[in-house]
Structure 1
Amino acid sequence: MKILLLPLTFVILSFSKLYAQQDAIISGKLLDADKNPVLFANVALFKSADSTLAGGLASDENGVFKIPAKPGNYYLRISYLAMAEKIVPNVKVVSGNVDLGTISLKADAKVLDELVVKGEKSQMELQLDKRVFNIGKDLSNIGGSASDVLNNMPSVTVDVDGNVALRGSGNVRILIDGKQSGMVGMNPVEALKQIPSDLIESIEIITNPSSRYDAEGEVGILNIVMKKNIRYGLNGSFTGTAGYPANLGGSFNINYRKEKINLIASYGHLYREGPGRGSSRQEYTSADTSFVYEQKTDRTRGGYSNNFTVGMDYFFNKHNTLTGTLSYRNSQNSNSSRLEYKDFDFNNNLTRTVVRTEEENEPRTNVEAALSYRKTFDKKGQSLSFDAKYIISDETEASRYNEGSIGEGNSLVQRSFNTEDEKNWLFQLDYIHPFAKNGKLEAGLKSSTRLLDNDFSVHQQNAQMNWIILPDFDNRLAYDEKIHAAYLMASNQFGKFFVQGGLRGEYSDILTELKKTNEVNHRKYFNLFPSLHLSYKLEDAQTLQLSYSYRLSRPGFRDLLPFSSFSDSRVFRSGNPLLNPEFTHSLEAGHLLNMEKGSLLSSVYYRRRLGVVENITTVDSTGFTRIMPVNLSTGNAYGMEFNLTYDPFNWWKWTANANLFRAVNEGVYADRVLRSDTYTWTGRISSRVTLFKNIDFQSSFNYRAPRKTTQGRDLSQYFIDLGLSRDILKGRGTITASVRDLMNSRMQRRIVENEGYYSKSEFQWRARQFIVTFSYRLNRSKEKERGENRDDMGDEQ
């Protein structure tokens, strides 16, 4: 029995000793000067005897840390970005846990100053499949709209009508925070003019999107990233704008973060008046008839808009976040125009002068509700996200027209109504799974439904003062679009070589129906869209990129709508309900050179387009001109692009970009071959000088070269912008003065030639503008903003 008790006693004593020496827990909670938790601070435990590292970790989402330790004497070293290092001495572990209670950290002014120099956000950031342009540094964007911001982006052009093009193509997809939005859904031209630039953080230009993005957009995607932040406490920014012609606005963007809840709110109000002018000459000659007339146009488009967003982030823990937002947008435009037609005979003698006036009211409302859930895992880079969005929009255009010959009084009175209602549902699921050291798998599902109802009619007053509907301009369009998609993508890095490949499948079910004429067009099709991105790092300062994608461009709502505008009684623009989508193969190669004082991104690209949609102009013998989009041709585009940033001195920064390309389109319309082969380019150069440390002066020059079209040519266009800003109130405020289109030269000039028809026109949508803007940052200085990393809560995760 004794022999058995000896080993049993040994075992019991051994377990008792191990139990007695088990690790204790050293714990505490980190708070900043405002009593907010300090997340993810580095807490290191050192032995007092020889200063060897005994353990350490990062504080959790509540600022709490818990470090296991054996009995002994220690000290803590706590460090965190932009805060002074904290030493906690004389931490003694005897036989139980040690609770250090609350530990306060203070901001380090020296560290903040260093962040200003080293952490200033670059205006252009290059990522594998996109370029990110931070707009805050560009003075020409302050006080403007989203349309103005896009017009200052490299390779992006916005014509006088507000139509956006990328690398010369208008088939570009516009997203907000990585997702489709009702704000730019039905009428992107007007919507972009109503979004204040003060609410925009950055613009992402994605010329060859990967499979995670929708296949929509032949030439790529422009993603507008709105401002947001999740800093602790109450902070935000406020902006006020005044300008001439009438440009009055104000906006704020604030958030309040406390432990697990982050509340956000933003609001922007904008009132603008945009005077425009133009002129044209139309000549038509045939065997039966001929006509010549000149047209002079004076227009004013103006009104107000309100953009309001509220939302909340709820952080269950460091791995699970739920976000809900509600956005409301309302605008009321009042537009007027005066068109003067001068008719001439064949000998160029004036025969009569006709004047047509229009008064239009255009109210719009848009409501969006979005819910997003994001889950991360202990494994770095692994995440799961789910997004749901509901959008409802309505818009009404009501116009009244008066037309008559001078000296004869009004002989024609008309009115038109155009109501547009839209509903959207969107559901999206994305999952990222890392593998190996730098690899990851991505997969996702998406389903969207879009319902549009458009009722339009034109009425004319008869001699008895009764309103008669014009049957050629009376119909109701119902548009039902369902798109279901799935994608799978993988990427990995092999030394200096990085590869990303993906495949996206999309099933489209689109029904277009003209109710009053019983014209139905139902299309169902399934397509696979591959993408490939390759990157090779030659050395620390140079990187090569190669990418390929296959994409499509479905006709937009306006392109399908048979009725567009009745403002001009002699030139009618309409859509085409029978349009089919375009398909595009896109190949691009790029080279990034990082230099000591700048960077140079050079790209060459090729696009092969099938079923290219072009606007065709036709004229009848009465002089009535119709412009309508058709699937005309195949197209090939070859181009090269350069983006240069160069800072010769700390106080002087240069940026320049140029896009040179050749576009060849060829097709047949009405038994006639239409072909264009054009060499053209666009460019922008900007200089920013900092004087006396707190004054910035910026000048920029934009140019668009002439280009040929299948029915004529577009002439050159240029404009100059200037801006001057000064920081005040110890860096918390900034006042900016700017002038857009200094020479009042931003004018679209176009020539159209067809069999027996010649037209030359020029139009300026908005005259030169002078703007003064004041911005104030609450609980954050300009320097702190530059040093922070933006928390990107958009679709690109």
Structure 2
Amino acid sequence: MKVLFGGIFFAFLTGVCSISFAQTKPSVIQGKVLMDTNGPAEAATVVLMLSKDSSIVRSTLADKAGIYQLNNIKAGNYLLLVTKIGCAKMYAGPYSLAVSQNFVAPNITLKLKDNQLQEIKVTARKPYIEVKPGKIVLHIQNSILADGNSAYDVLRQSPGVHVGGDKETLSITGRQPALITIDGRATNLTGDDLNGLLRSMQSSTIDQIEIISNGSAKYDASGGGIINIVLKKGKNIGTNGIINAGAGYGKYAKGRAGIIFNNRTAKVNIFGNYTFDDNKTHRSITTNRNINYNDTLSNYNVAYNNIQKSQNHNFKAGLDYSISAKHTIGFLVSGIVREDNFIKDNTLKISNQNKLDSIIVAQSTLDRGSSFLNYNANYNGVLGKSGKTISADVTYSNYNRHSNEFITNNFYTPDNNTYKNAEQLENISPSEIHIWTEKLDYVNPLTKTSRIEAGLKYNHAKSDNNLIFGPKVGNQYRADTNLSNRFLYTENIGAGYVNYMNKVGKWDITAGVRAENTNSTGTSVTGEMVATTRNYFDLFPQAQISYVYNEKNTFSISYNRGIHRPDYQDLNPFLYYTDPYDYRSGNKNLKPEYTNAIQLAHTYNDTFITTLYYNQTNDAYDFPIYRQNDTTKVNITERKNFGRIYVAGISFYAPVQFTTWWSANFNLDASYLRYKAYPINGTFNKASQDIIFNSTQTFALNSTIAAEVTGRYESPTLYGVNQLKQSYVVNIGFSKQIFNKRGSIKVNLNDVFNTDRDRNHALYQNVDLSEVNKKETRVLRVGLSYRFGKSTVKSATKHNTGSDDEQRRTGN
């Protein structure tokens, strides 16, 4: 496999280099579009036309600074047409373009219609899914089906994102977990805590989600790519906002309400949001475990059901202040306060030689609450006239959780008579995490097309996890010292990076390296203090090279090395109780896994994108491994550094405009993956295909009514030692604009056919286990939103805010 991909890589570079030297360097036209108030005309459309017949050659949009660039232009005479909603059209030229010329056009100034500073209504609409090489952008507010769903629900239905495993990990390419960031800042949460955060974040607060397969060295080193959630933040001068509310029903009723507000002046921007979510859901899991020992076949079959009642308070408040045109400071407070109550029912039926032997029914109530609070101060400045920039961030995050569960076990014979007194247990597991993060970033433009980026980051995390488990003796619960523990964990990560970026003719080059030093100590507070200390240093190189063959074909190649550190809860050496024969265990000796990834991509006509990729992960651990004692029949699920994962695949994305009212996009990802155990973990060496197909169909029924249908299919595949069965889901939705397009009503039905479930089977060493996991996924939702205040954009000088650069960085 290494030889094959080495050959492909060499052939690709050889072919591209040969072609590049045989071609004439194309010309470039660049310039700037301004409003008549001298502010940038952001999102103005610049159209390049032949001067002889006004036929359109190509077009582009001006960026936030009003700058545009038209690449790969042949020599000739051209006109420029510039348009923007609410402004009069402007023509410029004709311009005569020579071979290999980099032509800078004079500034083009747009005037408001009737020469008055009237307000401009924003009616332009981006598609829900926008795909670029190495990146997918989801414009959340343009999706009917996203309304009323959480960030987690939106992501699990998104193209290029895979949700899998017992922890429902989000991954992008090759099954490696993705780095989750919010406004360019890492959440520093993992596992269930991270999923809880994403489930508490309503789509109404999200502007867009960026799915990046290969981030530069300025990001925390992640072999699984980056998912960046960009929250809403008003850009308009004046006061404005959105009020939204919704209700849903699946097996139980659900409701939500929220507000987003913004007040911006020339120097100060005050912004924030608040969402309340009330949700009740159902979940069922059936597990069948077969044990063949001493010529006796035993079956341990579990039917688990829970009802979860959740209330979430999600809030954010911030202030940006422009000290001057070049210097901005910002302050931000955000958080999620969540309260969950579970009613659980776990029925275990034990059979020997296919004859029912006994039944254990575990019923429990669980009160779990958590708060996740972030405090951030940031600075962004421009140094001198050369365009050098510097930004700094200081963030403190505090996570607290209480979890109090009380369990009653009842023991029955096959004819439902009790054979043992009921057993009462307590399971108390509070958790507290403190995280301090400081980072500094510097950008130095060397020329008009090249720059160097450098930065430093320090992250200090401290967690305190406690587990008190034991039976009720008399009128008092007593801790079982074999199942109770306290685990203290401290982790310090110091990092630095340097990036070089340059555009030379048809070539676009990004190369960098990130250095990270990790020092961690985990201490189990039992009878004796038992500490595990690790100290390791790593280098993570990254490179991406793009080559424009002609105006319709672009090729790129990228490589990066990344790390995935264990979740805090996976390092806790606790033995978590499910029933008397089923436990889950942490592993304080768990090491990080490392991934090397390479991608070859081709873009045709800035529309169709084909990507070949190959990943190899060493010390892979992020999937469940089972350890079964055939004598006691006890099964323990744990994480360990199992072995290596090899993934090779191809993905293809195609947007299609069938008619003026019907458009669609199609995404196909087909891969071959292999899991190979280290000898210490047995002889497991299995491979499988994994085919994922996504499609979104959009129908503009008239100027105010639209419909949307999405579908997703995944073939049978492999996940660690588990063989997964195929899965598929279909969603539909409708929207209607009301109140002169200030408001909208959206109706959507998720999982129309109620087919969304996880089914897996593991045959590993002495373990024979199958499982079906079904959540409440078929839900009908109705949402209403209304925009108040100024829904218009006045020409004003654009100021960078403390978090703007963070958001930009995720887009590289």
* 1:395–1:419 Cα contact (<8 Å) kept: yes
1:71 corresponds to: none
Q: Identity rate of aligned residues, in percent? A: 23
2:373 corresponds to: 367
Question: Structure 2 matches for 1:286-301, cutoff 5 A?
Answer: 286-287=293-294, 290-301=297-308
Note the C-alpha offset of 1:710: 4.8
2:212, 2:673 → 1: CA distance? 20
Number of residue pairs aligned between Structure 1 and Structure 2? 699
2:411, 2:749 → 1: CA distance? 40
Matched, 1:499 2:504: no
Matched, 1:324 2:334: no
1:671, 1:738 → 2: CA distance? 47
1:566 corresponds to: 577
* 1:731–1:782 Cα contact (<8 Å) kept: no
2:226, 2:671 → 1: CA distance? 19
Note the C-alpha offset of 1:789: 13
2:160 corresponds to: 155
**SS class of match (1:279):** strand
**SS class of match (1:141):** coil
2:268 corresponds to: 261
Which of 264, 271, 277 is the equivalent residue of 1:270? 277
1:649, 1:731 → 2: CA distance? 24
1:642, 1:773 → 2: CA distance? 33
**For the structure 1 residues 670 and 441, does the alpha-carbon distance in structure 2 shift closer, same or farther, using more than 3 Å as the test?**
closer
Question: Structure 2 matches for 1:224-623, cutoff 5 A?
Answer: 224-244=229-249, 245-287=252-294, 290-346=297-353, 348-377=354-383, 379=385, 381-406=387-412, 407-408=417-418, 411-462=422-473, 464-516=474-526, 517-563=528-574, 565-594=576-605, 599-613=607-621, 614-620=623-629, 621-623=631-633
Note the C-alpha offset of 1:472: 2.2
**For the structure 1 residues 38 and 331, does the alpha-carbon distance in structure 2 shift closer, same or farther, using more than 3 Å as the test?**
farther
- Give deviations 1:71-111, integer Å, cap 9, x for gaps: xxxxxxxx99655579xxxxxxxxxxxxxxxx9943366xx
Query: What one-letter code is carried by the residue in structure 2 that aligns with 1:354?
Result: I
Note the C-alpha offset of 1:449: 0.5
Matched, 1:200 2:239: no
**For the structure 1 residues 104 and 763, does the alpha-carbon distance in structure 2 shift closer, same or farther, using more than 3 Å as the test?**
same
**SS class of match (1:370):** strand
Query: What one-letter code is carried by the residue in structure 1 that aligns with 2:534?
Result: R
* 2:392–2:440 Cα contact (<8 Å) kept: yes
Query: What one-letter code is carried by the residue in structure 2 that aligns with 1:222?
Result: I
1:754, 1:84 → 2: CA distance? 67
Note the C-alpha offset of 1:465: 3.9
Q: CA RMSD in A?
A: 2.9
* 2:599–2:613 Cα contact (<8 Å) kept: yes
Question: Structure 2 matches for 1:3-18, cutoff 5 A?
Answer: none
1:778 corresponds to: 788
- Give deviations 1:568-590, integer Å, cap 9, x for gaps: 44322222110011111110111
Tell me which stretches of 4 or more aligned residues in structure 1 moved more than 6 Å.
183-186, 788-791
**For the structure 1 residues 565 and 541, does the alpha-carbon distance in structure 2 shift closer, same or farther, using more than 3 Å as the test?**
farther
**For the structure 1 residues 184 and 282, does the alpha-carbon distance in structure 2 shift closer, same or farther, using more than 3 Å as the test?**
closer
2:132, 2:203 → 1: CA distance? 23
**For the structure 1 residues 492 and 480, does the alpha-carbon distance in structure 2 shift closer, same or farther, using more than 3 Å as the test?**
same
Note the C-alpha offset of 1:273: 1.3
**SS class of match (1:470):** coil
Matched, 1:675 2:685: yes
Which shifted more, 217-226 or 753-762? 753-762
Query: What one-letter code is carried by the residue in structure 1 that aligns with 2:407?
Result: Y
Note the C-alpha offset of 1:610: 1.2
Query: What one-letter code is carried by the residue in structure 1 that aligns with 2:613?
Result: Y
- Give deviations 1:550-584, integer Å, cap 9, x for gaps: 11111111221223742444322222110011111
Query: What one-letter code is carried by the residue in structure 1 that aligns with 2:403?
Result: E
**For the structure 1 residues 475 and 288, does the alpha-carbon distance in structure 2 shift closer, same or farther, using more than 3 Å as the test?**
farther
1:197, 1:162 → 2: CA distance? 19
Note the C-alpha offset of 1:473: 1.5
* 1:281–1:292 Cα contact (<8 Å) kept: yes
Note the C-alpha offset of 1:664: 1.3
1:676, 1:657 → 2: CA distance? 27
* 1:513–1:520 Cα contact (<8 Å) kept: yes
Note the C-alpha offset of 1:148: 0.6
Matched, 1:688 2:695: no
**SS class of match (1:796):** helix
**For the structure 1 residues 193 and 608, does the alpha-carbon distance in structure 2 shift closer, same or farther, using more than 3 Å as the test?**
same
Note the C-alpha offset of 1:282: 1.3
Which of 137, 145, 149 is the equivalent residue of 1:132? 137
TM-score normalised to the size of structure 2? Answer: 0.81
2:28 corresponds to: none
**SS class of match (1:469):** coil
1:274, 1:247 → 2: CA distance? 9
- Give deviations 1:139-184, integer Å, cap 9, x for gaps: 2211010111111221212348643232352522111111122676
